Structure 1
Amino acid sequence: MSVARVAVVTSEAGVEYDDDLPLIVDALRSGGLSAEPVVWHTAAAPWARFDLAVIRSTWDYVERLDEFLTWADSTAGVTRLWNPPPLVRWNSDKHYLGELARHGVAVVPTRFLEPGTQPTAADFGGADGVVVKPAVSAGALDTARYEPGRQADAARHARTLLEQGRSVMVQPYLPRVAEGERALIFVGGAFSHAIRKDPLLTEPGVIDNDRVPHLGVAPYQPTEAELRTAAAALAAVPSPSAPLFARVDLVLDNAGEPVVLELELIEPNLFLRTDAQALGRFAEAVAARAAAQR
């Protein structure tokens, strides 16, 4: 039997900056697979020659979302893509948080404003301030938090996004985010490892699209409540099978209970260097998916 061929899908920035990319390729090759990194928008890339394409660091997809979704659909037509296009499409817009909430998952309370609406300062009240962000975003792109009394600034931010034809999310600022965001990583539907990282929105009223997205990363042992919340989020994902990879980002609400900030199924950093077994788990899961479809 021929060796299974795996494309580890990335971007030009991913080729340069994704520290996990060479680790993944080497681990897959060590496991007996033929693996290589491929930039997703490479002209006429021969996707059909791969048995499996695994999305990893397609970091520019937000700026080229329609193109990326079309690529996912077309690629899945000639090979197997993980995570598959329906999950990619569902997860590309953070309206999914509303769907998770309707399934009883504890999420950061989120109100969506749609293009064509005219928000006023009254829409942005909150005891501890609010966070304003676009519904299609990654790495806190075009995101800022506003302190109490700065509702006019928050409304101005939202109107700017709405005028660009973008849906807007308004969330309460949760002060206990200062204790750190938790990211729980799942591989093949099973919990793999977790990290804690420093909060991003440390300076009120500032949109900083050049900020480093992951600061102060350290291994973390999640609580049982955090594991339950993350598992509930994954159980609500509209898919007949478990995602190959998933990252559930949690913060603590004012009562100290974990709530879902984001559920990332497209190209999340999996922090494979923070756990000695993480890379092996990921490589084994990829190998199993490759073997299942040959």
Structure 2
Amino acid sequence: MTTIAFATCTELLALDPDDALLADAVRALGAEVVPRAWDDGAVDWSAFDLVLVRSPWDYHLRRDAFVHWAARVERETRLLNHAATIAWNTDKTYLRTLAERGVPTVPTAWVGQAGPSPSLADLLAERGWAGGEAIVKPAVGLGSSGLLRVPAGDPGGAGAAHLSALAAAGDAMVQPFVPSLPVAGELSLVFFERRLSHVLRKRPAAGEFRVQPEFGAVTVPATATPRQLAVAERALACVDDDALLYARVDLVAGPADEVWLMELELVEPTLYFEAAPGSAERFAQLVLDAARA
């Protein structure tokens, strides 16, 4: 029997609802699905036909160890997405690469650990962002971990201290706050093998701007405009991985209805199968095909 490991974390060995739907669909095709924590040293990863990265939602706490784990697993068996893609996508400086290649991204200022750390006030002034709110967050993070929303006119307070602390530990990023977020949230386009599967909108709760479920956000089916689809496909075209199995492209609306890339999720994104009936079954078949290749 084909055996597939879902790489997760210790807290999610029972699988989250999204992964449970996929596991049921894979099992219905006659394969075995076994959840395993990525950092469990007792696991023999070579015993699986495929290791599918699903919900290792603690990797940001030990990113180097996670990247090394992925490289080791790929030497022992088939891993998707690939280890090189995981290494690239777990550091948000990939957004800088995409921007340099012409993908419209949320404007970002990068503060590196190795270089001098400018004051937040100076940085915002240089970029022309001094009049509005800002977001300060680490380059290696998951969801909204380490994120701080800095009020307008207060760059020298908590925001400056937060940026200094982040820059002392690793690379950090500063962005202007996107005003459309509390109203429209994010548009997510889910791709299987680079083909669009389904689209959904993640709407934040009242008074919120974060679009994760733990902050009360809701998800509804949606459609993408040709412009939005073009931005998503342009971002994916920059990914050098000929076996890319899954991707989620998160977009936001900038000023004058610009389309900006917020995140390109290639490691452990929720794929929102529940929002698109039949998508779990379609993806399960691709997973099984990859395991048997």
Give the TM-score taking structure 2 as reference length.
Answer: 0.91
Report the CA distance between 1:26 and its aligned residue. 1.7
Report the CA distance between 1:214 and its aligned residue. 6.5
SS at match of 2:257: coil
After superposing the two structures, state which structure 1 stretch, 169-178 or 81-90, moved more.
169-178
Q: How does 1:1-294 map onto structure 2 within 5 Å? A: 3-16=1-14, 18-115=16-113, 116-120=115-119, 121-125=121-125, 126=129, 127-153=131-157, 154-163=159-168, 165-177=169-181, 178-199=183-204, 212=214, 215-239=217-241, 241-292=242-293
Q: Distance in 2 between matches of 1:198 and 1:228?
A: 22
* Counterpart code for 1:122: D
Q: Distance in 1 between matches of 2:285 and 2:213?
A: 33
After superposing the two structures, state which structure 1 stretch, 133-142 or 151-160, moved more.
151-160
SS at match of 1:185: strand
Superposed CA deviations along residues 70-117 of structure 1, whole A, max 9, x for unmatched, are 111111111010001000000010000011011111111111101242
Report the CA distance between 1:231 and its aligned residue. 0.7
SS at match of 2:95: helix
Q: Distance in 2 between matches of 1:5 and 1:211?
A: 31
Contact residue 60 and residue 142 of structure 2 kept, 8 A? yes
Superposed CA deviations along residues 220-258 of structure 1, whole A, max 9, x for unmatched, are 11111111111111001122x141111111100011121
Give the count of matched residue pairs: 284
Contact residue 14 and residue 35 of structure 2 kept, 8 A? no
Contact residue 119 and residue 158 of structure 1 kept, 8 A? no
Report the CA distance between 1:162 and its aligned residue. 1.4
Q: Distance in 1 between matches of 2:178 and 2:222?
A: 20
Give structure 1 stretches of 5+ with no counterpart.
Answer: none
Using a 3 Å threshold, how does the CA distance of structure 1 residues 213 and 283 change in structure 2: closer, same or farther? farther
Q: Distance in 1 between matches of 2:206 and 2:5?
A: 35
* Counterpart code for 1:256: D
Report the CA distance between 1:157 and its aligned residue. 1.4
SS at match of 1:175: coil
* Counterpart code for 1:113: V
Report the CA distance between 1:17 and its aligned residue. 5.8
Q: Distance in 2 between matches of 1:235 and 1:179?
A: 26
SS at match of 1:221: coil
Report the CA distance between 1:8 and its aligned residue. 1.2
Give the TM-score taking structure 1 as reference length.
Answer: 0.91
Contact residue 52 and residue 79 of structure 1 kept, 8 A? yes
Q: Percent identity among equivalent residues?
A: 36
* Counterpart code for 2:234: A
Report the CA distance between 1:166 and its aligned residue. 1.4
